[in-house]
Structure 1
Amino acid sequence: MFHEGHKALLRKAYEVGEKVIIGLTTDEFVAEMGKPHEVAPYKERLEELLAFILHEGQIHRTEVVAINDPYGPALWDGGFEAIVVSEETAPKAEELNRLRAQRGLRPLELVVIPMVLAEDGKPISTTRIRAGEIDRAGRLLES
């Protein structure tokens, strides 16, 4: 579920990068991840992502790639320079850099953004949205 946290990541990527490559998990990989909530089909998520990119006027700087693992092409493609992550996902990016080093690739610059907080000061997350606690913008919902 595309929310304000995702938008913040992408806006930061467009701020710091010339070209932005976005890895979007395939339905198969999502199934392997064992998420605690339902995840929309790939096609639906792609359409929502592309609508945001078009709205931001960034389609000319963007490539969306389907990924079947936690790292996507950043694991083996030496052309990547940086990765934009949240505080929550920074450890995975550090792991990615260790794996890149094992392959003889230079480390990526880690651009870490803070978690986007809801009205209650807790992070916006798909889990909280699906649970009916908050909406995609982080506004508290009536229980």
Structure 2
Amino acid sequence: MTRLLTRVYVRATGIAQKMDKILMRIDVQLRDLLSSDGAEWKGVEWSVPWDVVFTIGEDSPPLPSHVSPTKLPAVTSSRTNFEAQKPPSKSSDQLPVVALGGTFDHIHAGHKILISIGAFLATEKLIVGVTSDALLVNKSNKEVLEPLDLRMDNVRDLLSIFKPSVEPYIVPIEDVYGPTGWDPNVQGLVVSKETLDGAAAIAKHRKEKGFPELRKFVIDVISATEESIDDSDMAALKSTKMSSTFIREWIVEQRQGNSL
């Protein structure tokens, strides 16, 4: 499932960036639509209305009654080295309580993959720690940082449409640990390669507290053109991945251009 989410997000975001639509909202949803009248969608509130829904071929899933899909022709990839990725099995990988964290400023594809994988892995509760404003004072172009409440709302909105059955626990964090530093009931931690140092600090802290060890799930850092960046240089990772830093730089450049 990680590969599927990453592949779709990378392709869609890459196209949006080529069109200079950096702030285009792209959400990948993997949901079971159980009835032909779209009943599975009832009760789901979308903060941003859909402009268009694309489906492939004739075998499209049921959609809400107000949505008219645009059909795309089905194509077959010529690549022969693609291996189908089986989703993690419920018995071996899914856990009752999973945690993850981040700034989630101008929430982008990298964030959404992290949150989506966390939601898939959690069977009961997903804890999301959102970096507080106080910890972001040294960020570049901090004047265009989104406020904490908006960043938390964006995470909540994504969870509500990706997996509404999981309980969201979205809290501001003032340190690297967040709830993992005081809640012994957390079983899993989802991190990116970029934040492995933070995961190590959390593991050390929980060991000192006598808390159970967390099962760690590592998600690749990605860019708008690459589905995985295999690079041990953290500076390179930060400069090449889809990032809030890049988005803030783009916003500032647009504002400066408009003021000329």
Confirm or deny a common fold (TM above 0.5): yes
Gaps of 5+ in 1: 134-143
Which residue does the alignment assign to 1:95? 201
Q: Compute the displacement of 1:115 (Å).
A: 0.9
Q: What amino acid is aligned across from residue 132 of structure 2 in structure 1?
A: T
Structure label with greater radius of gyration: 2
Instruction: Name stretches of at least 5 consecutive residues in structure 2 with no aligned partner.
Output: 1-105, 230-239, 252-260
* Maintained 8 Å contact 1:82/1:111: yes
Deviation sequence 1:53-90 (CA, Å, 0-9, x none): 22224264211112111110101211010110100001
Report the RMSD for the aligned CA atoms in angstroms: 2.0
Normalising by the residue count of structure 2, what TM-score does the alignment of the two structures yield? 0.47
- Aligned letter for 2:246? R
Q: Which residue of 2 aligns with 1:22?
A: 128
| Greater relative contact order structure (CA < 8 Å, 6+ sep) | 1
The equivalent residue for 2:109 is 4
Is residue 41 from structure 1 mapped to residue 147 from structure 2 by the alignment?
A: yes
Cα distance per residue 1:11-56 (max 9 Å; x no partner): 110121122111112222333xx22232211112122222222222
Identity of aligned residues (%): 28
Q: Does 1:132 align with 2:217?
A: no
Matched pairs, number: 131
Counterpart of 2:128 in structure 1: which amino acid? I
Q: In structure 2, what residue type is equivalent to 1:37?
A: N
Distance verdict in 2 for CA 1:6–1:59, change over 3 Å: farther
- Counterpart CA distance in 1 for 2:129 and 2:169 is 9
Q: Secondary structure at the match of 1:132?
A: helix
What residue is the counterpart of 1:68 in the other structure? 174
Contact 2:119–2:166, Cα closer than 8 Å, also in 1: no
Contact (CA 8 Å) 1:21, 1:64: kept in 2 or not?
yes
Q: Deviations over 1:85-111 (max 9, x none)?
A: 100001211111011111111221110
Report if the CA contact (8 A) 2:133-2:147 is conserved. Answer: yes
Range moving further from structure 2, 94-103 or 22-31: 22-31
Contact 1:24–1:64 at 8 Å: present in 2 too?
yes
Superposition pairs of residues 74-113 of structure 1, within 5 angstroms: 74-113=180-219
Which ranges of 4 or more aligned residues in structure 1 deviate by more than 4 Å?
none
Mean Cα deviation higher: 50-59 or 19-28: 50-59
TM-score by length of 1: 0.81
Contact 2:129 2:172 in 1 (8 A): yes
The SS at the match of 1:88 is helix
